[in-house]
Structure 1
Amino acid sequence: MTASTAANGYRIVDVDEAEERFSLFADVESRFPYREFSDEQEFRLYEGGLHVTGDFSAETDGDWVPYNVIVDGDLTVDGDLSWWDDHMGNFVLVTGNVRARNVLLCGNPTVVVRGDLLVDNGVFGCRGEDGGFLDVGGVTRAKTIVNIRYFKMTFSGGRPDATLVADPSFTSCSADFTASCPVDFADDELSEVLLPAMLDPDGYVDEGQIEWALVEGRPILRPGAVPSHLAALAELDALRARSEEVVELDLADRNLREFPEQLFAFPNLGKLSLAGNDEIHQIPERIAELTALEELDLSGLALKRLPAAIGRLEGLRVLDISGNPLRDLPDELGTSPALTVLRARSLNCPIPESFAPPALEELDLSRLRSADGFPHAVTRLARLRTLDLTEAVLGEIPGALLGLTALEELRLDGALGGVPRLPDLAALPRLRVLHVNGHDGDTGRYPDHDLLDAVWPITTLEELNIGRWGAGRHDRRPALTGLPDHAFAAMQGLRRLDLSRNELSELPESFYQLRQLQVVDLHSTSLDRPTLDRLAETFPQVQIDLRGVPTRNDVDDPNWRAVHDLVTNGQAKLGRDHPAAVQLFEEALDRCGTGASFSDHDQLYAYYGLVYALSRLVDADEGLTDRLIGYAERALAMVPEPGEVWHFTDEGQFQEEVTRTAGNSLAWQLMKRGELDRALSIVERALTFGADPAYDYLRDTKVRILLAMGRAAEAYLVVDHVLTRNPDFSDFADFTSAPEFLHWRAANTLT
């Protein structure tokens, strides 16, 4: 504490008195186990409140604060309340209100305010990996609240009256984190909304600069930064001038707080997406006024019920209600006259018996978690062509399903745990696609191999997935090590087959008679050498995935050595002789045929090397474009999605480099072809591994795509961010004298 005057000096109390008088277990103990440290930390009690004329700061002992603070009454700090702990933690409990210029919290302190938190300027919390909480029981008022890097903040008195910049996962309007707290800017938007001075030279958030700016009363946000929900509402207001022309609106992921009333101004609106706006809790009955609606996406909201009026939208063909905590479905939905497609993933409520939309052809109930189990109402949907019950908890597959004589696609992956038997699926006359993999669907219940006996007699299949019938976690089921010889004898029209992640060492004779096969997934099986050789001989034109098959990775095999040597020599040519490198890498890939021995790494490197070399040749020879695009697509197909890359391994780091290089080249070529949405998606994937300024070339590609899409403001944010930390970045040299960018920069940054 500095320059302080206490209304009453503190006294030391023991843990028993503190608990008895202030019920610490109610809100402190769940955050910080103070009893474990009561022999090392004293309890300082300020009775009658506390007024500090300067700053109120933690007095540290090395890397921790050796005491806890209880203020019985109000805490008024004329300066800043600054508290931290980098070790075991500590707590500050205020039974009344807190008033301060700023509240600055870092590390592991637990600060509990049972009354109101009234702050003149800002609240800042960061680095709470091992603790770190701010709990406010009353109202909260401030100009700005920034909550980042795992610090936790709860506001039980309701959403703060402040501009809230925070990680939504660690910010809540209830002490138990069950009530979300709408943020103005999420933590992944920081580089776009913070002033450049708040970022370090590498473009990361500089916590010290934010704290210092708050202390000095300087702004931390760009003056032009507008929360996405307000920007969306402004865009709707601007469109009202030509409301008759508006037929489609995409308002997905705009952080909208409620259903926008402006939507009723667009009488010809035919397609509307509100997906991902998880603060929308209800849809008004007035939605029936949008009589032109044909497609409506309400996925990922916070709806507990749907309005009955949705069933009265006579032209509605496509409806997505996935990912909502719905408690029931209105009966009116079951009579929606034009509804053709209903997507309701992750539904936790029953399907009503009255559910029978007469035109329904596609129904997605994947991850259904209804207490009723199998939704029997679907067996009466006479026109149903596609039924997706992936990872649903079912308990049974009733024989009544066979009444769906129009059914063409049935997906039961991960949904068969606990299902005792399958009906005679061969009785479905039009069934073309069947997915029945043996995964447990994260329920811990694995289906028995005997269920597959109902699959072999089906004669109409073109696509079949029977992968993942391995041993299961904790050996709860024997591994599938073989298939009956007749398994595929009835399936002469089969084109796509997934047998991946089964411990098969060989394939049944009937497999080799499948003359229509186009794609086979044998990833992570245990196929022996004779089987690999026969695959190569029998299916030379079929796309077969043999990644992760141990037999293929025989380092003593002459072909394995030849592929490795070609890739090594091609690598040596990169940067010196790109045409020669292309030739060597393509020769290596020619040897990576079905059944051949080679390493997955060498194959991936060959694709990577081809992308690298061709991207440096394509400007002089546009005839190489198709080859470049094809190799980039194949490279990306071999790399796991970003969340599945093990970045701490050498292989994971190489996969990240492949994602960057192939993603950048592919996005650039797609942009030139005008495929802008796909190009942006691919460069965004590459940027998941592109935080380092060394990869600013990816940001250049993104900027060019955004400009081509007419999204100049988003592009300029990226340009400004890069040029602020590196004014000499040559790829953006054209912007340094571009009037449009300079005008935007002057309006959106502060000197």
Structure 2
Amino acid sequence: MPGLRHPSVLRAMTRAVADVSAARSALQVLGPRPDHELVDSSRAIVAATDAEAGGSRRVPEGDLEACRAVVRLEETHDAYEALLQEAEGRLEAVYRSAMEGKDLEEPDGRDESAAAAAGDDAAVQEEVIAVLRQAEEGKPVESVRLVDRQLRHLPEAFGRIQGLRVLDVSRNQLEVIPDAIGGLDHLEELRLASNALISLPDSIGLLLNLRILNVGSNRLRSLPDSISKCRSLIELDASYNGLAYLPTNIGYELVNLRKLWVHMNKLRSLPSSICEMRSLYLLDAHFNELCGLPSAIGKLSSLEILNLSSNFSDLKDLPASFGDLLNLRELDLSNNQIHALPDNFGRLDKLEKLNLEQNPLSMPPMEIVNKGVDAVKEYMLQRWLDILLEEERKSIAAAESPQAPTTPSAWLARSVSWVSDVSGSLVGYLSGENKTEKDAYLDQQY
């Protein structure tokens, strides 16, 4: 790097590297971040107890102290992660200076650069002022698109543009969105992608008509809980950020959401409420740190496209309810540590595309996987049928025993019924009526 010959660059890089190392070491000592839902419940318990100060205490002292410890750990993580983010930002700036061969304290050319920047800012401001003037004059303004304008500031006055339905300020340099944005009662589409946003205002929850929200490629570490109030949302893109969790109640409120992109973040888990998104058609959570899925994931009855690839060493298992995703058409589980698919995986009859590459799979065997999606479905369906038949055999044997109960279990009744339903289709499937050649999808990148 040519810029390392400048003493100021070298000093700044040394300090930034030391600060990054110190912050990461502190986070490592702290251990894993507590689960977000646990943090929320702990905060609620502590707040309720503090509000009842002087009255009868409902929570045992030991449990209360445990809740306080969870909250303290979360706050400590927040503090050190803020330090880490600030240090990494400084290191990135120093690295750019080093690559460009510039001295951080270089005076030459600064006035010229500042003048050029001032000229650009003036042009942008004129464009912004023109939009606001048009609105003030009572002229209809339904769409504002200020994309790639090097915009650093969004005026509060934008929140008073009545009738605005589309606001696109993508690819700018915005660090803050004003609270006044909550005043855009008619806003349906808000695009804030590729800026430098660290947070979103709580007032975003006032956008009750918002249908599309894109906050991808920013520096967000969390989404405000109020985003759950945007019940008209059908598309939410929060990819390419630093999200460690999603709002606890997001699934209970965003029941109309059709597409959710949260890939390229730092998510360790998905909230259990996400299973209530009955309208969800697409879920992309690849390249995170997911340790698993909510146990009730099978309740996503409308889900057709699911990408969980590249969670690497963290994702090892799929819940038993996975086989209830009966409308699933495309599934990417590549680059994980999954050893076995759920026994009822064969129920995914509509599955057309399947990527299982780079997993230590033993069930189904790799020779089956290499034959394609139809072979995998056939193998897993036969396995599930065998399991149900074995359970039926054991139940019949137990029923004939004098010590056995006289009625079969409800689960067995359902299993036998399901066996009857699938037997006919399975016979045809295994006889070759519905077989296809090796799935071409596995020969190309997902």
Fold match by TM threshold 0.5: yes
1:386 and 1:470, CA in 2 relative to 1: closer, same or farther beyond 3 A?
A: closer
Match of 1:284 in 2: 178
Is residue 310 of structure 2 the alignment partner of residue 414 of structure 1? yes
Work out the CA distance in 1 between the residues paired with 2:231 and 2:342: 39
Indicate if the aligned counterparts of 1:459 and 1:491 stay in contact, CA closer than 8 A: no
Indicate if the aligned counterparts of 1:369 and 1:392 stay in contact, CA closer than 8 A: yes
Is residue 5 of structure 2 the alignment partner of residue 27 of structure 1? no
SS of the residue corresponding to residue 218 of structure 2 reads coil
Indicate if the aligned counterparts of 1:470 and 1:480 stay in contact, CA closer than 8 A: no
Match of 2:226 among 311, 326, 332: 332
Match of 2:103 in 1: 134
- Give the Å deviation of 1:262: 5.1
Indicate if the aligned counterparts of 1:318 and 1:341 stay in contact, CA closer than 8 A: yes
User: Which structure's residues are more often helix, by fraction?
Assistant: 2
Is residue 237 of structure 2 the alignment partner of residue 343 of structure 1? yes
Match of 2:201 among 285, 307, 322: 307
SS of the residue corresponding to residue 275 of structure 1 reads coil
Give the unaligned 5+ runs of structure 1.
1-23, 34-127, 146-160, 165-182, 186-225, 440-445, 472-478, 493-508, 526-544, 546-751
Equivalent residues in 2 for 1:336-735, closer than 5 Å = 336-347=230-241, 348-355=243-250, 356-357=252-253, 358-370=255-267, 372-415=268-311, 417-424=313-320, 427-439=323-335, 446-448=336-338, 450-452=339-341, 456-466=345-355, 468-469=357-358, 483=369, 486-489=375-378, 520-523=440-443
User: Which structure's residues are more often strand, by fraction?
Assistant: 1
Equivalent residues in 2 for 1:209-224, closer than 5 Å = none
Work out the CA distance in 2 between the residues paired with 1:386 and 1:520: 22
- Give the Å deviation of 1:292: 0.9
Work out the CA distance in 2 between the residues paired with 1:245 and 1:518: 57
- Give the Å deviation of 1:249: 2.0
- Give the Å deviation of 1:466: 0.9
Match for 2:181: what amino acid? I
Work out the CA distance in 2 between the residues paired with 1:283 and 1:31: 30
SS of the residue corresponding to residue 407 of structure 1 reads coil
- Give the Å deviation of 1:333: 1.1
Match of 2:190 in 1: 296
SS of the residue corresponding to residue 309 of structure 1 reads helix
Work out the CA distance in 2 between the residues paired with 1:129 and 1:286: 40
More RCO (CA 8 Å, sep 6+): 2
- Give the Å deviation of 1:132: 2.3
Indicate if the aligned counterparts of 1:407 and 1:428 stay in contact, CA closer than 8 A: no
1:285 and 1:262, CA in 2 relative to 1: closer, same or farther beyond 3 A?
A: closer
1:427 and 1:456, CA in 2 relative to 1: closer, same or farther beyond 3 A?
A: closer
Work out the CA distance in 1 between the residues paired with 2:357 and 2:218: 29
- Give the Å deviation of 1:482: 5.0
Match for 1:315: what amino acid? N
Indicate if the aligned counterparts of 2:234 and 2:257 stay in contact, CA closer than 8 A: yes
Q: Deviations over 1:663-700 (max 9, x none)?
A: xxxxxxxxxxxxxxxxxxxxxxxxxxxxxxxxxxxxxx
Work out the CA distance in 2 between the residues paired with 1:246 and 1:328: 31
TM-score (ref. length: structure 1): 0.35
Indicate if the aligned counterparts of 1:243 and 1:266 stay in contact, CA closer than 8 A: no
Match of 1:274 in 2: 169
1:344 and 1:131, CA in 2 relative to 1: closer, same or farther beyond 3 A?
A: closer
Aligned residues: 305
Work out the CA distance in 1 between the residues paired with 2:186 and 2:137: 16
Work out the CA distance in 2 between the residues paired with 1:516 and 1:238: 63
Match for 2:378: what amino acid? A
Question: C-alpha root-mean-square deviation of aligned residues, in Å?
Answer: 4.3
1:462 and 1:435, CA in 2 relative to 1: closer, same or farther beyond 3 A?
A: closer
1:428 and 1:254, CA in 2 relative to 1: closer, same or farther beyond 3 A?
A: farther
Work out the CA distance in 2 between the residues paired with 1:434 and 1:366: 16
TM-score (ref. length: structure 2): 0.57
Match for 1:144: what amino acid? E
- Give the Å deviation of 1:421: 1.3
Match for 1:399: what amino acid? S
Match of 1:212 in 2: none
Larger-Rg structure: 1
1:491 and 1:362, CA in 2 relative to 1: closer, same or farther beyond 3 A?
A: farther
